[in-house]
Amino acid sequence: MNESPWKDRKEPAGEPTRRLTHGALERTGSDGQALRPAQPVRRRARAPELWLLAVSAVVAVLPLAVNNVNFHHVLIMFLIFASLGEAWNIITGLAGQTSFGHAAFFGIGAYAAAVAYFRHGISPWIGMAAGAVIATAVSAVVSYPVFRLKGHYFAIATLAVAEIIFQLFVSWSYVEGATGISIPVAAEGLATFQFHTSKLPYCYITLAAFVGTVLVFRRVEESRLGYYLRAIKGSEEAAMAMGINPARYKLYAMMISAFITSIFGSIYAQYILYIDPFMVFALAISMKIVLLTVLGGLGSVWGPVLGAAILIPLSEYTRILLGGTGKGIDLIVFGALIVVVACFQPQGIVGLMRSHGRRRAERGVSGDARRDATAVA
Amino acid sequence: MHEGCQNPATCPMGRVLSRRPGWGAVPECNTGNPATTGKGTKTNVPSLRGDPRRRRSPLVHVAVGAVGVVLQVLTSGLMMGFVYALVAVGLSIIWGVMDVINFAHGEFLMVSMYSAFWLYTLLRLDPLFSWPIEMAIVFALGYLTYKVIIRRVVDAPGLAALLATFGLSLVLRNLAQFLWTPNYRFLNETLVTDKRLILGPVVLGMPQIVAAIGSVVMTILVFYFVQRTRMGRAIQATSLDKDAAKLMGIDTEKVYAFTFGLGGACVGVAGALLSSFFPVHPESGALYSLLAFVIVALGGFGNIKGALQAGVIIGVAEALGGFYLGTQFKYAVVFLIYLLVMQVRPSGLFGW
Amino acid sequence: MKKRCVWVVIGVVLATLLLLGGAAFPLGKSAALAAPQVVKIGAIFPLTGPAAATGVKLKYAVEVAQEIINGAHPEIAIPLAKDAGLPGLGGAKVEFVFADHQANPEVAKSEAERLIQNEKVVALIGCYHSSCTKPASQVAERYGIPFVAGSSSSAALTERGLKWFTRIAPNDDMETKFFFDYLKFLNQKYNAGIKRVGVVFIDNEYGVHAAEMVQKWIETYKKDGFELVALVKYPTTVSNVDTEVQKVKAARLDAIFHASYIGDMTLFVKKYKELNVVPKAVLSYCGGFQDPQFVINLGKDAEYFAGSNATTPALFAKMDVVKKINDLYKAKSGVDIDGPTIEDFSSAMIIADAINRAGSTDPVKVLDVLKTATFDAPYFVSGKVKFDAKGQNEYSASVMVQVLGGKYEAVWPEEFKTAEAVPAFPAWSAR
- For residue A226, the tally of other CB atoms under 10 A from its CB is 22
As for how many domains chain C has, the answer is: 3
Q: Are residues C46 and C8 in the same domain?
A: no
Cβ-based contacts under 8 A for chains A and C: 153
Q: Give the integer Cα–Cα distance in Å for A261 and A264.
A: 5
Q: Quick check: bond before C413 cis, omega within 30?
A: yes
Percent of chain A with pLDDT strictly greater than 90 = 35
Query: Is B143 within the bounds of a domain?
Result: yes
CA distance B229 to chain C (A): 34
Q: How confident is the model at residue A188 (pLDDT cuts 50, 70, 90)?
A: confident
Contacts of A268 in chain C (CB under 8 A): 106
Are A297 and A306 contacting, i.e. CB atoms less than 8 angstroms apart?
yes
Q: What is the largest CA-CA distance in chain C?
A: 83
Tell me which residue of C80, C71, C129 sits closest to C105, measured CA to CA. C129
Are A183 and A123 contacting, i.e. CB atoms less than 8 angstroms apart?
no
Q: Are residues C287 and C425 in the same domain?
A: yes
Name the residue with higher pLDDT: A20 or A163: A163
Q: Give the integer Cα–Cα distance in Å for C413 and C421.
A: 10
Q: Give the integer Cα–Cα distance in Å for B129 and C405.
A: 31
Q: Give the integer Cα–Cα distance in Å for A100 and A86.
A: 14
What CATH number did the domain enclosing C184 receive? Answer: 3.40.50.2300
Q: A97-134, pLDDT tens digit by residue?
A: 889 999 999 999 999 999 999 999 899 999 999 999 99
Q: How confident is the model at residue A61 (pLDDT cuts 50, 70, 90)?
A: confident
Q: Are residues C270 and C243 in the same domain?
A: yes
User: Chains that contact A by 3+ CB pairs under 8 Å?
Assistant: B, C
Tell me which residue of A370, A311, A340 sits closest to A77, measured CA to CA. A311
pLDDT for the residue C350: 93
Type of residue at B49: R
Query: Is A318 within the bounds of a domain?
Result: no
As for how many domains chain A has, the answer is: 1
Q: C376-408, pLDDT tens digit by residue?
A: 988 888 888 999 988 999 887 788 999 999 889
pLDDT for the residue A24: 35
pLDDT for the residue C329: 93
DSSP conformational letter for C92: B
Q: Give the integer Cα–Cα distance in Å for A217 and C180.
A: 59
CB of C18 within 8 Å of any CB in chain A?
Answer: no
Q: Are residues C278 and C424 in the same domain?
A: yes
Q: Give the integer Cα–Cα distance in Å for C267 and C242.
A: 9
The predicted model gives C38-56 an average pLDDT of 88
* Residues paired with C376 in a beta bridge: C384
* Residues paired with A182 in a beta bridge: A274
Query: Is B25 within the bounds of a domain?
Result: no
Cβ-proximal residues to C33 (8 Å cutoff; 6+ apart), any chain: none
CA B260-B262-B266 angle, 5° bins: 120
Query: Is C392 within the bounds of a domain?
Result: no
| Helix axis angle, B252-274 to B58-98, nearest 10° | 160
Q: What is the largest CA-CA distance in chain B?
A: 78
Is the pLDDT at A59 greater than 80? The verdict is yes
Contacts of A345 in chain C (CB under 8 A): 6, 9-10
| Contact residues, A window 216-245, toward B, CB-based 8 Å cutoff | none
Query: Is B226 within the bounds of a domain?
Result: yes
Q: Are residues C306 and C415 in the same domain?
A: yes
Query: Is A363 within the bounds of a domain?
Result: no
pLDDT in tens, chain B (352 residues): 333 333 333 333 332 332 223 233 333 333 333 333 333 333 333 333 334 444 445 555 555 567 888 888 899 899 999 999 999 999 999 988 888 889 999 999 999 999 999 999 999 999 989 999 999 999 999 999 999 999 888 887 768 888 899 999 999 999 998 898 888 888 888 888 888 888 888 888 888 999 999 999 999 999 999 999 999 999 999 988 888 998 988 999 999 999 999 999 999 999 999 998 899 988 888 889 889 999 999 998 888 999 999 999 999 999 998 888 888 888 899 999 999 888 888 888 876 5
pLDDT, mean over chain C: 86
Highest mean pLDDT among A180-184, B59-63, C213-217, C320-324: C213-217
Query: Is C393 within the bounds of a domain?
Result: no
Contacts of B170 in chain A (CB under 8 A): 331-332, 334-335, 338
Cβ-proximal residues to A2 (8 Å cutoff; 6+ apart), any chain: A8, A10, B352
Q: A273-283, pLDDT tens digit by residue?
A: 899 898 899 88
Are C324 and C76 contacting, i.e. CB atoms less than 8 angstroms apart?
yes
The predicted model gives A45-59 an average pLDDT of 80
The predicted model gives C323-335 an average pLDDT of 90
Q: Give the integer Cα–Cα distance in Å for A360 and A357.
A: 9
Are B292 and B234 contacting, i.e. CB atoms less than 8 angstroms apart?
no
3-state secondary structure of C380: coil
3-state secondary structure of B140: helix
pLDDT for the residue C10: 55
Is the pLDDT at A351 greater than 80? The verdict is no
Query: Is A5 within the bounds of a domain?
Result: no
Range of the domain at A135: 33-283
Q: Give the integer Cα–Cα distance in Å for B312 and B306.
A: 10
Is the pLDDT at A366 greater than 80? The verdict is no
Tell me which residue of B321, B66, B8 sits closest to C197, measured CA to CA. B8
| Contact residues, A window 1-20, toward B, CB-based 8 Å cutoff | 1-10, 12, 15-16, 18-20
Q: Give the integer Cα–Cα distance in Å for B238 and C392.
A: 66
A339-343, B334-338, C124-128, C217-221: which range is least confident on average?
A339-343
Give the residue ranges of DSSP H helices in chain A. 24-27, 38-43, 47-65, 69-89, 102-120, 124-146, 151-170, 200-222, 224-234, 236-241, 246-272, 277-280, 283-296, 303-322, 329-344, 348-357, 365-374
H or E element at residue B330: helix B330-344
Query: Is A337 within the bounds of a domain?
Result: no
CA distance B71 to chain A (A): 27
Query: Is A261 within the bounds of a domain?
Result: yes
Q: C62-88, pLDDT tens digit by residue?
A: 999 999 999 988 888 888 888 888 988
The whole-model pTM stands at 0.82
List, in sequence order, every beta strand (DSSP E) within C326-372.
none
Q: Are residues C200 and C121 in the same domain?
A: no
Q: Are residues C160 and C285 in the same domain?
A: no
Q: Are residues C111 and C53 in the same domain?
A: yes
Are A116 and A122 contacting, i.e. CB atoms less than 8 angstroms apart?
yes
Query: Is A140 within the bounds of a domain?
Result: yes
As for how many domains chain B has, the answer is: 1
CA A170 to chain centre: 24
Q: How far is CA B29 from CA A165, B201, C140, C184, C254, in A?
A: 34, 12, 53, 27, 16
Find, in chain B, the residue whose alpha carbon is nearest to that of A93: B158
Are B94 and B263 contacting, i.e. CB atoms less than 8 angstroms apart?
yes
3-state secondary structure of A274: strand
CA distance A121 to chain B (A): 30
Are A335 and A316 contacting, i.e. CB atoms less than 8 angstroms apart?
no
| Contact residues, A window 305-364, toward C, CB-based 8 Å cutoff | 310, 313-314, 316-321, 323-328, 330-331, 337, 340-341, 344-345, 349, 352
Are B80 and B211 contacting, i.e. CB atoms less than 8 angstroms apart?
no
What CATH number did the domain enclosing A106 receive? Answer: 1.10.3470
The values of phi and psi at residue A189, to 5°, are: 155, 165
Hey, are the CB atoms on B330 and C273 less than 8 Å from each other? Answer: no
pLDDT, mean over chain A: 80
CA distance C419 to chain A (A): 36
Query: Is C42 within the bounds of a domain?
Result: yes
Q: Give the integer Cα–Cα distance in Å for C222 and B105.
A: 50
Instruction: Compute the Cα dihedral for C99, C104, C110, C112 and give only its sign.
Output: positive
Is the pLDDT at A3 greater than 60? The verdict is no
End-to-end CA, chain C: 69
3-state secondary structure of C346: helix
SS3 readout for B211-233: HHHHHHHHHHHHHHHHHHCHHHH
Complex ipTM value: 0.80
Hey, are the CB atoms on C5 and A377 less than 8 Å from each other? Answer: yes
pLDDT for the residue B60: 53
Find, in chain B, the residue whose alpha carbon is nearest to that of A164: B332
Q: Quick check: bond before C127 cis, omega within 30?
A: yes
Q: Are residues C295 and C416 in the same domain?
A: yes
Hey, are the CB atoms on A294 and B163 less than 8 Å from each other? Answer: yes
Is the pLDDT at A295 greater than 60? The verdict is yes
Q: Classify strands C147-149 and C165-167 as parallel, antiparallel or unpaired.
A: parallel
Cβ-proximal residues to B94 (8 Å cutoff; 6+ apart), any chain: B100, B102, B105, B259, B260, B263
Tell me which residue of C168, C223, C191, C201 sits closest to C342, measured CA to CA. C168
Range of the domain at B184: 77-328
Range of the domain at C258: 173-313+398-430
* Residues paired with C126 in a beta bridge: C44, C149
Query: Is A313 within the bounds of a domain?
Result: no
Query: Is C391 within the bounds of a domain?
Result: no
Concatenated DSSP letters for C40-66? EEEEEE--SSTTHHHHHHHHHHHHHHH
The predicted model gives A42-54 an average pLDDT of 70
pLDDT for the residue C13: 53
The predicted model gives C232-236 an average pLDDT of 89
Query: Is B235 within the bounds of a domain?
Result: yes
Q: Give the integer Cα–Cα distance in Å for C287 and C47.
A: 16
Contacts of C6 in chain A (CB under 8 A): 344-345, 352, 374
Q: How far is CA C321 from CA B303, C94, C328, C379, in A?
A: 63, 21, 11, 6
* Residues paired with C125 in a beta bridge: C43, C148
Tell me which residue of B184, B187, B141 sits closest to B283, measured CA to CA. B184
Query: Is A288 within the bounds of a domain?
Result: no
Query: Is B287 within the bounds of a domain?
Result: yes
pLDDT for the residue C11: 57
- For residue C201, the tally of other CB atoms under 10 A from its CB is 26
H or E element at residue B332: helix B330-344
Query: Is B262 within the bounds of a domain?
Result: yes
Is the pLDDT at C100 greater than 60? The verdict is yes
Q: Give the integer Cα–Cα distance in Å for C282 and C305.
A: 5
Is the pLDDT at A313 greater than 60? The verdict is yes
